[in-house]
Amino acid sequence: MFQENMHYLCMNIANDFPVEVEISNKKRWHFAFVAIYCSRAFKNKASTKVSPLLVSSYSHGADYNPRNVRVSTDTIAIDVVQEHPLFSGIDQSSLAKLVKDKSVDKLANLGGVHGVAASLKSDTANGINGDPEDVACRHEAFGTNTYRKPPAKSFFIFVWESFKDPTIIILLFCAALSLGFGMKEHGLKEGWYDGGSIFVAVFLVIAVSSISNFRQNRQFDKLSKVSKNIPVEAVRKGRRQQISIFEIVVGDVIYLKIGDQVPADGILLEGHSLQVDESSMTGESDHVEINLSQYPFLISGTKVADGYGMMLVTSVGMNTTWGEMMSEISRDSNEQTPLQERLNKLTSSIGKVGLLVAFLVLVVLLVRYFTGTTEDENGNKEFNGNKTSSNNVINAVVGIVAAAVTIVVVAIPEGLPLAVTLTLAYSMKRMMADQAMVRKLSACETMGSATTICTDKTGTLTLNKMTVTKFFLGKEHMKAESHTTISAKVLELFHLGVGLNTTGSVFKSSEPCSSFEFSGSPTEKSILSWAVMELNMDMDQVKRNFNILHVEAFNSEKKKSGVLIKNTTDGTIHAHWKGAAEMISKMCSHYYDLEGNIKTLEESDKEECDRIIEGMAASSLRCIAFAHKQVPKAEHMHGNVPDNSFILLGFVGLKDPCRPGVKKAVEYCQNAGVNIKMITGDNVFTAKAIATECGILHPNQEVDDGAVIEGEEFRNLTDEVRKERVEKIRVMARSSPFDKLLMVQCLRKKGHVVAVTGDGTNDAPALKEADIGLSMGIQGTEVAKESSDIVILDDNFSSIVTVLKWGRCVYNNIQKFIQFQLTVNVAALVINFVAAVSAGEVPLTAVQLLWVNLIMDTLGALALATEKPTKELMKKKPVGRTEPLITNVMWRNLMAQALYQIAVLLTLQFKGESIFAINERVNDTLIFNTFVLCQVFNEFNARSLEKKNVFEGIHKNKLFVAIIGITLVLQVVIVEFLKKFANTERLNWGQWGICIGFAAASWPIGWVVKCIAVPERPIFSYLRLNYFRALFK
């Protein structure tokens, strides 16, 4: 048989050879080559079987796929797949091809899904063994559920990207000019100082920027691993358990529900109303129905849109289509946030101002020189027309150009973009530690501007740990000890209504003293636990006696789930509904009493049912109702679960306690000027009770004052009325995902910056529409997470408040740095301009100015960008959507400090020598030292924009203290030991005292200035200068 297959395969290869083969004496060698090659290949692989699908393709001519055999004029390659000894009759390539081709016929040839499961040593009900040896064998035979990643960007790529920055290019050009002019004027030995120092400074900025971006990229990679580590529910040894998506192996039985991502390629084992969104793979927006008869194939990476089911995993990792696609995708962490874009624009604008000032200085100095108003050291005119040698003229012009270049260098604030990168990377890392995973960098800063948070109730404000605390049979309240008095018939109906109309499961190990394990959603687990422990339900017995015919799966719009079942003993058809109590009770015309008698549901009975529901809701209980009906065969022919003339079984009340600390967190937000709106699917009474408990509503607040509204009423309002009422709304009950989307759109139209939480698939539109989408890490579906900006890993509202604090901290840290940076820019530009125009030279050399640049750029950014959030941040109103980046408070602070520095330094420039009886070089060193120390002391002032005590909490920021210490040490080294390089002279103790005294005066000045009140309206709005408004926006 083997020889026959080999001969047949070789004949097919020869027939499909791309080069035309004529069986003639000339061409016979061609055929002979093929035959010999095939013989050797099969001889070497005598113990290896050909893939069933491959053999099948040759034995069925119509299904033959030439891709299985690839032949060229030079080589012949045959796909020969070696089976694993433990999994006979099936191999990885045949399994992968099965799902990719979506061929029901090929699935049938392999014995259907049960045949595939048997070949994979898996049980369709109990799953695989799952012990380490079994998993290791499956890894060896079929691979792991991981993807090859493209190589990460190396550090040198980030260095190259930094070199391409326009600011860096300008600085490098200036460095080259300065180096050339310096060597021309002073020779090679000393002429390289200025230009060389600019190069050193530029390379230092590039190094810090590159390292920061490189680390941020690596941080994104780590976050990416966390975000891709999706928990899935699998069955192993009959036990339903949660495992990581990376732990899935071929043969696993996986549970799927609405919102889940299909974790691997597979085949449907059983499912109900299962629909999958395959748009991520096919581009088609229509949902695909998955069923056993026509389309049982599930593709990894797709999303479950409706229903639920179980699948058998057939391919994992790189053997899936999704794996091949994902291996080519790398996440781009070079996302530009809105704040970074604004700061790049500000940097560019300040650079232009610096160029303008430098150009004016250049013109003024050239005019002064060529008009003969400047004098040399001996008091002679520097320019005497034809008497001045060309060499002296060139040297003078070179010196003037060098002075102008120096001004350009100090004017360009290359530290601004660096500060944003540092503070965003730092805050993102700290937010991760505080249970918030940032998916989009822009959300870090946008969250600081949030004016409204629309939050879910279940799991966010509450613990999502439900327990049944109340039970009503019909209208009768049942206490725990009275369950034995329930009629056997009614008890059986409850067992059916709970045990078969559920997406959860019950497992009990055969080991002695083992307890029940419940899985599913918190609501399902609590009801199953109640039915098993209180009503003595036997899940296995229930499933043995009834077959499920049709399921109406629960979703957030229907708020109920139904099941149509058939009794295997007598063939009768039954329908069960479970869901929101007021919805189920409206479907009922009768109810069961304690003895199992069916009674008509009169109007008075309906009112009593409403009171029961309202009473439970007022106690913060989620009220679930059960209803039953025996369905006539004629009615069953329609296939769907009927929804009228049901018999009410009863109600259960589920208690979901509020999270500890949530009331304080809500109060924290309200004090910060952020409105909290609770949007829930529960009824009005439950919603109002929980909202009052959490502090969103006041205890005496009435429903009719507009604070509480139902989703249906909200969506039926006109746009104008909705806009008018949306500000007052605090709670929206019985809402659908569409209502949440409407509220977000309405609030944004009113100018609010909206953060919204969501966990369901249907929340995706609202999460995308909001300024900040916050998805839940535990209960959130994969669809919701992918639509969000930040994932709250512990589903806790307090973590949302933490995100708000960090968002404000990011914005505040950037403002601190801008204030610090601009103070230096203004002072340095004015001093150099005034001195150049009046004295014909700049008091600070290029090396000195570059050292100041390093303090305010690199070290300043590190010190101020890593400040932690303070309590004061949450006592301010949110930053508006259109509020300028540089506020009036910042202008007040920076102008006061800049004017003080200008006054002191110009006094030293023109009168320092006479006041302190020192020579010119010492005076220049005094100016430089005072200027640097002023920046060091002003760095303390920059720690707070408004608070007078700038030393509060300084001991907690060790990095800030370390940077101040490093700066002071380096300044001493530059002044005392690098005299030639930095053009300084040693200072005595008295002169150091003078410098420190001038610099320390900035502290009391800062304290006094902060006592001056400033208007809230931006200063440039009074001047109506569009350019300046755009510049500092």
The catalytic residues are: 456
Q: State how far the Cα of 852 lies from the Cα of 905, in Å rounded to an integer.
A: 14
Question: Within 10 Å of residue 88's Cβ, how many Cβ atoms?
Answer: 11
Q: State how far the Cα of 855 lies from the Cα of 907, in Å rounded to an integer.
A: 24
Query: Following DSSP, what letter does each residue of 227-265 receive, concatenated?
Result: HH--EEEEEETTEEEEEEGGG--TT-EEEE-TTPBP-SE
178 HSE (CA, 13 A, CB side): 28
Residue 270, class by beta-carbon neighbours within 10 Å (0-12 exposed, 13-18 middle, 19+ buried)?
middle
CA distances in angstroms from 70 to 27, 511, 804, listed in the order given: 20, 55, 59
Q: State how far the Cα of 29 lies from the Cα of 19, in Å rounded to an integer.
A: 13
The identity of residue 553, as a single letter, is A
Handedness of CA 28, 30, 33, 37 (dihedral sign): negative
Buried b (16+ CB within 10 A) or exposed e, 376-407: eeeeeebbeeeebeeeeeebbbbbbbbbbbbb
| Residue 29 DSSP symbol | H
> Three-state DSSP class for 487?
coil
Q: Which two tokens stand for residue 693?
A: 């408990």
Cα 336 to chain centroid distance, Å, stands at 15
CA-derived radius of gyration, the chain? 38
Contacts of 765 (CB under 8 A, 6+ apart): 737, 738, 741, 787
| Residue 795 DSSP symbol | -
Buried b (16+ CB within 10 A) or exposed e, 917-948: ebeeebbbbbbbbbbbbbbbbbbbbbbbbeee
**Residues facing 599 on adjacent strands:** 591
| Residue 703 DSSP symbol | G
The identity of residue 1005, as a single letter, is I
Q: Which two tokens stand for residue 69?
A: 């055999």
Task: Name the pairing type of β-strands 588-592 and 598-600.
Answer: antiparallel
Q: State how far the Cα of 845 lies from the Cα of 927, in Å rounded to an integer.
A: 11
